[in-house]
Structure 1
Amino acid sequence: MVNIRPMTADDVADAMRLKAEAGWNQVAADWERFLALDRDGCFVAESQGRVVGSVTSCRFGPVAWIAMVLVEKARRGAGIGRSLLVHALEHLEAAGARSIRLDATSMGRPLYESLGFRVDFHLDRYSGIVETVEAEGTSRPARPADLDGIAALDRIATGTDRRILVDRLLRDNPLESLVAVPIRGFALWRPGSSADQIGPCIAEPDAGQALLNDVGRRLAGRRVIVDIPTSNVDAVAWAERAGLKPSREFWRMTRGEPVVEDLSRLWASSGPEMG
């Protein structure tokens, strides 16, 4: 018998166990962020007192995200992942979400399609040790006063008001941020268990490359991952010049009303957790 219940801070250790078994990059701070942004939208599946699955969600007004659909390897194939996903969908739709989104792996995509999700576009994850790249532009670390401008740029690119996410990322990692001056773009990054995750990076088409060059200069010699829409050829070219290689595929999918993103401004996704 499997019971689905709300996730609490006491479940983070078990969530990290599931994450490690899947070989994903999140750290405990990521799970704590999920809970802080939408504690009511995060759930675990429990069997005989043991956490065997997880799902997180977050709602940005009418647009919601689902992520971290994880099931213990020994329990896969028993419908636990589907039950968690349906539970999260019911919660989000009851709360008023009109568009529910996620980034699917090749393993998860058939399940999501069976529940009415459709593919919007494709992303490639690039990973590796950052090679030194020439720094350009006049970027500087983000300041609290930049939040309005950063959130406005993010909203234009993503079609979603993610101010609460951007604010939380900036507060969690205040030293891992850059803005192009004047504010025509921004880039954030954060530590992971095996690599730094670059993203989100949102910028005007003529500012993104210089901004990522500055990020690359700061992260030179470090292992990173960055999720890039394959249609943003300039962002892909930057990753290749930085010595990064494609290592994984994602498909951005939506159930419900479509969300239009400006992929020319989306240089790096924040990651599969919240786009």
Structure 2
Amino acid sequence: MATYHIRRMTLPEVQRIAVEWAAAEGWNPGLEDATGFYETDPEGFLVGLLDEEPIACISAVRYPPDFGFIGFYIVRPEYRGQGYGFQIWQAAMRQLKNRNIGLDGVVAQQANYRRSGFQLAYNNIRYEDKASGHRLQEPSDHLIPCDRLPIESIAAYDRRFFPTARPAFLAAWLRQPDSRALAWVDQGQINGFGMIRPCRSGFKIGPLFADTADLAKQLFVALIQELPAETPFYLDVPAANPEAVALAERYGLKPVFETARMYTQDAPAIAVSGIFGVTTFELG
């Protein structure tokens, strides 16, 4: 009789299983996402094995003190509908017990997530375009590479837009190879920052946080202006921020799909009006 059990994944398994399966699902993960994800919570990635063969995975990442985020919920197609996914889902929920849990789920699965206690906060929209030569009219001394700033300062600004402080995640995330991370700094204060990173297809922008729509535009153009012409790029925008939607549409980006941002408790008190690009659907 076949045996099914669930255990934590190693970093190589996160890359080989979770990230590769996400790519096969068309989620277009970043080339170096696995390391940053894993460093955030090395115990947060689970794999379900049937006779030691991986058939399901999920991430249940813990952010101190009391927030968690679920992602990478994938069951291999030939094993769906047999209860294996629900078992690994339950394991993830147990791991995040007593926390406010967030996720970005497929919109069509909202009813299933509601049955596990999740409530809709807002939808996120993925926009897509190809680089076409947008450039800043003139360089700005306010644009500073993030690696020249203390991670504590970046994390303090980031905290406005995320339910809890996440310096460990940001330290790993912002050092991805071949990425570009810029902050807007005025009189020593960060007023916005963003990052663009290489993915299986093209590049993704995330995060893109800013005090105003004009600063978001400056950061957006600065991030994409180095891309070769016709390179695909993506921006994940909260539908609850009309200025973010307007920014995407102003530059001709087209919506390609949506996710439902949901939480098990009250939606966190974050400044959605300053979120012009979601960091990542997998870890928030």
TM-score (norm 2): 0.88
In the comparison of the two structures, how many residue pairs are matched? 272
Identity %: 28
AA matched with 1:139 = L
Q: Summarize the Cα distance change of 1:212–1:16 in structure 2 as closer, same or farther, 3 Å threshold.
A: closer
Distance between the aligned counterparts of 1:224 and 1:87, measured in 2? 35
Corresponding residue for residue 24 of structure 1: 27
SS at match of 2:49: strand
Which of 112, 120, 140 aligns to 2:144? It is 140
Give the superposition deviation at 1:181.
2.2
Give the superposition deviation at 1:185.
0.5
Corresponding residue for residue 196 of structure 2: 189
1:164-203 to structure 2, matched below 5 A, reads 164-173=168-177, 175-182=179-186, 183-203=190-210
AA matched with 1:158 = F
Which blocks of at least 5 consecutive residues in structure 2 are unaligned? none
AA matched with 2:249 = E
CA contact (8 A) 1:189 1:199 kept: yes
Corresponding residue for residue 222 of structure 2: 214
Q: Summarize the Cα distance change of 1:17–1:152 in structure 2 as closer, same or farther, 3 Å threshold.
A: closer
Corresponding residue for residue 37 of structure 1: 40
Which of 80, 83, 103 aligns to 1:79? It is 83
CA contact (8 A) 1:229 1:268 kept: yes
Which blocks of at least 5 consecutive residues in structure 1 are unaligned? none
Structure with the largest fraction of helix: 1
Q: Summarize the Cα distance change of 1:28–1:45 in structure 2 as closer, same or farther, 3 Å threshold.
A: farther
SS at match of 1:102: strand
Cα RMSD for the two superposed structures: 2.0
TM-score (norm 1): 0.91
Q: Summarize the Cα distance change of 1:47–1:40 in structure 2 as closer, same or farther, 3 Å threshold.
A: same
For residues 38-74 of structure 1, give each alpha carbon's deviation from its aligned partner in whole angstroms, at most 9, with x where no partner exists.
Answer: 1212100111221111111222211111110011011
SS at match of 2:160: helix
For residues 200-240 of structure 1, give each alpha carbon's deviation from its aligned partner in whole angstroms, at most 9, with x where no partner exists.
Answer: 11110242122112112223632111110113222222222
1:61-72 to structure 2, matched below 5 A, reads 61=64, 62-72=66-76
Give the superposition deviation at 1:134.
4.0
Q: Summarize the Cα distance change of 1:27–1:175 in structure 2 as closer, same or farther, 3 Å threshold.
A: closer
For residues 158-211 of structure 1, give each alpha carbon's deviation from its aligned partner in whole angstroms, at most 9, with x where no partner exists.
Answer: 232122221111122475101112221000121111121110111102421221
